[in-house]
């Protein structure tokens, strides 16, 4: 009996040990499967980052969807535009699209120099009958002639008058000096035109001062870049009067775009030369006066936009940066260009065999494409008409997009490019749908991104600012230059006009400064760029 009981006990112990071993193995397998899944996800994420980096380095930077990849919303009846004028055709021996050449009508405002060619006197007789020839027609060939910049000295001579009779009578003799315009920089030989020339080349054409120094040497003039830099700062002091009035006018708007980018300033207090500073951009909307203002700050803290926009009440459109949330009395708007960019980047980073993820990324991008497609149809409409059209056509697309986002969020990895794109849209949704509330506001912040691009291009040439004063001066000058462009003014001629007028008016009189703003009727025609151009 004891032998049987011992055998039974041993059998039970062996069974329990076997069960424990199986359970341990199952747990181990489950743990390994979890680790494999986690490592697979990490590997996929690292591969995505490598592909994304390669795309950014070697691939096309454009986010434009190819014409042959139409949105799945764009049915034929939606894409059809029956009122669209057909392209002009010219008949040769077959029909083709009329070639677009140079439009010579755009040259109508240019001065014309006419050079006429006649036959020599001895050749004015007919070679057949020897009678005199007459002019029957003309052959005209037009050329564009470039006149290189010329430098000359202008002497301002003020004549001083006195009274001969008073001198004879030995009484107090009055001395009267003829009036002359005040210089832009007292004690300096810089003229309004020279100041405007240097500014325009640096801040509009992105030519740094050291290159301009070399070009002046080619004119036979030695102007050190230190002199040029001093002129920029002193010129900005004059432009600050216009800048402040533009700032006051911007704060009265109901809709403002905002963006920011990095800037390196070498001599900042309590900061290393390699640390980042920032240049902020604030722009008015499409339907208001065209204003583009830059502001230099040593950091990206929220106190800076809060201080700059103090007194503004309305819609503020940004790229989603949290610092703008601290601005008082504003409704923060999202940007569908940034939302779309997430899906575009996800598509670029996906491997070729990721069919499901690629389909989802394309669908997300196509929802954004459809919204932009609809917006292009509203370009010529008034704000009131845009508001109605958006509620009728854009709102259903927006609602379908939100359902799609919520449905597909659980299906994607949160840290993947597609997951981040979906999360960004959901987190920003209340701000993204704000454009439905007012027809005067835009669906994206592209206006601010385009406006800040000239500064980014210039930064690639001059790399950094030496001091905070120089950075602040650059912000003022960029503001005047880009605002001039936005109002169809020639930056050079407008700057020259400002430097001629500002030293000779009462700058404390806001009405006098308002007469100098880019849209003022008092701006001379010579400053304006023809709308044909």
Assess whether pLDDT exceeds 60 at residue 130.
yes
Q: How far is CA 371 from CA 26, 335, 338, 386, 394, in A?
A: 51, 12, 13, 13, 6
Residues 404 and 367 sit within 8 Å (Cβ to Cβ): yes
Of 28-42, 417-431, 453-467, highest mean pLDDT:
417-431
Higher pLDDT: 438 or 170? It is 438
List strands edge to edge, sheet with 330-333: 292-297, 277-284, 255-263, 314-317, 330-333
Task: With CA atoms as reference, report the closest residue to 321 among 396, 258, 255, 403.
Answer: 258
Q: How far is CA 254 from CA 210, 259, 289, in A?
A: 42, 17, 12
Task: With CA atoms as reference, report the closest residue to 231 among 265, 263, 197.
Answer: 197
What is the rounded average pLDDT of the residues 308-334?
89
Q: At what angle do helices 446-462 and 468-486 cross, to 10 degrees?
A: 130
User: pLDDT digits over 207-249, tens only?
Assistant: 888 889 998 888 788 888 888 989 999 999 999 999 999 999 9
User: pLDDT digits over 69-114, tens only?
Assistant: 434 444 434 444 445 555 555 555 555 555 555 555 666 667 888 8
Higher pLDDT: 531 or 427? It is 427
The dihedrals phi and psi of 93, each to the nearest 5 degrees, come to -120, 0
For 67-72, the CB contacts below 8 A with 24+ separation are: 71/366, 71/369, 71/370, 71/373, 72/363, 72/366
Rounded Cα–Cα distance for residues 530 and 409 (Å): 51
Higher pLDDT: 241 or 529? It is 241
| 256-265 core/surface letters (b: 16 or more CB in 10 A; e: else) | bbbbbbebeb
pLDDT at 196: 94
The DSSP-derived string for 214-231 is HHHHHTT----HHHHHHH
Residues 6+ apart with CB under 8 A from 235: 184, 185, 195, 199, 473, 477, 499
User: pLDDT digits over 248-296, tens only?
Assistant: 999 999 999 999 888 878 767 767 767 788 889 999 988 889 999 999 9
Exposure on the CB side of residue 192, measured as CA atoms within 13 A: 19
pLDDT at 99: 52
Helix, strand, coil: what percent of the chain each, to 5?
Answer: 50, 10, 40
pLDDT at 65: 58
- DSSP alpha helices (H): ranges in 225-354? 225-251, 303-308, 336-349
Task: With CA atoms as reference, report the closest residue to 184 among 175, 193, 176.
Answer: 193
Rounded Cα–Cα distance for residues 462 and 201 (Å): 12
Q: At what angle do helices 192-203 and 225-251 cross, to 10 degrees?
A: 80
Task: With CA atoms as reference, report the closest residue to 313 among 260, 259, 250.
Answer: 250
Residues 289 and 519 sit within 8 Å (Cβ to Cβ): yes
pLDDT at 7: 58
pLDDT at 3: 57
Higher pLDDT: 6 or 408? It is 408
Residues 291 and 283 sit within 8 Å (Cβ to Cβ): yes
Residues 6+ apart with CB under 8 A from 180: 156, 158
Residue 261 host element (H or E): strand 255-263
The dihedrals phi and psi of 273, each to the nearest 5 degrees, come to -65, -25
């Amino acid at each position: 009996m004891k032998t049987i009981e011992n055998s039974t006990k041993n059998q039970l112990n062996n069974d329990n040990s076997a069960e424990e071993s199986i359970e341990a193995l199952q747990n181990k397998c489950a743990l390994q499967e979890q680790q494999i899944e986690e490592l697979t996800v990490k590997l996929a994420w690292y591969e995505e980052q490598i592909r994304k980096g390669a795309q950014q380095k070697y691939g096309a930077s454009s986010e434009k969807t190819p014409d042959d990849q139409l949105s799945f919303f764009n049915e034929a009846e939606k894409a059809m535009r029956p009122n669209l004028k057909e392209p002009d055709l010219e008949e040769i021996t077959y029909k083709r699209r009329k070639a677009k050449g140079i439009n010579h009508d755009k040259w109508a405002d240019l001065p014309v120099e006419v050079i006429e060619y006649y036959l020599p006197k001895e050749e004015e007789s007919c070679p057949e009958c020897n009678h005199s020839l007459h002019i029957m027609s003309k052959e005209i060939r037009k050329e564009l002639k470039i006149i290189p910049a010329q430098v000359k000295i202008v002497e301002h001579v003020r004549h001083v008058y006195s009274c001969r009779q008073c001198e004879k009578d030995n009484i107090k003799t009055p001395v009267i000096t003829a009036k002359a315009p005040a210089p832009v920089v007292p004690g300096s030989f810089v003229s309004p035109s020279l100041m405007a020339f240097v500014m325009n080349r640096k801040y509009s054409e992105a030519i740094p001062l050291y290159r301009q120094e070399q070009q002046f040497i080619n004119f036979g003039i030695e102007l050190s870049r230190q002199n040029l830099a001093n002129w920029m700062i002193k010129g900005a002091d004059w432009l600050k009067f216009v800048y402040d009035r533009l700032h006051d006018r911007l704060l009265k708007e109901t809709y403002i775009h905002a963006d920011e980018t990095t800037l390196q300033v070498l001599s900042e207090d309590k900061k290393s030369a390699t640390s980042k500073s920032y240049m902020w951009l604030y722009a008015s909307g499409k339907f208001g006066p065209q204003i583009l203002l830059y502001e230099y700050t040593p950091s990206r803290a929220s106190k800076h936009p809060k201080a700059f926009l103090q007194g503004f009440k309305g819609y503020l459109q940004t790229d989603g940066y949290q610092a703008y949330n601290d601005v008082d009395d504003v409704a923060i708007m999202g940007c569908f260009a940034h939302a779309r960019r997430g899906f575009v980047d996800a598509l670029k980073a996906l491997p070729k065999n990721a069919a499901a993820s690629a389909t989802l990324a394309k669908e997300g991008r196509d929802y954004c494409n459809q919204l932009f497609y609809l917006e292009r149809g509203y370009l010529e409409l008034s704000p009131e008409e845009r508001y109605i059209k958006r509620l009728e056509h854009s709102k259903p697309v927006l609602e379908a997009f939100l359902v799609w986002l919520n449905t597909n969020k659980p299906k994607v990895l949160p840290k993947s490019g597609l997951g981040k794109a979906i999360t960004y849209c959901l987190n920003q949704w209340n701000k993204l749908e704000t454009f439905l509330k007012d027809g005067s506001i835009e669906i994206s912040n592209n206006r601010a991104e385009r406006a800040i691009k000239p500064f980014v291009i210039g930064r690639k040439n001059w790399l950094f600012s030496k001091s905070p004063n120089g950075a602040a001066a650059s912000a003022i000058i960029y503001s005047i230059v880009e605002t001039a462009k936005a109002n169809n003014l020639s930056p050079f001629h407008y700057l020259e006009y400002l430097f001629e007028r500002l030293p000779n008016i009462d700058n404390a009189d806001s009405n006098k400064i308002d007469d100098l703003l880019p849209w003022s009727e008092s701006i001379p025609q010579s400053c304006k760029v023809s709308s044909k151009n």
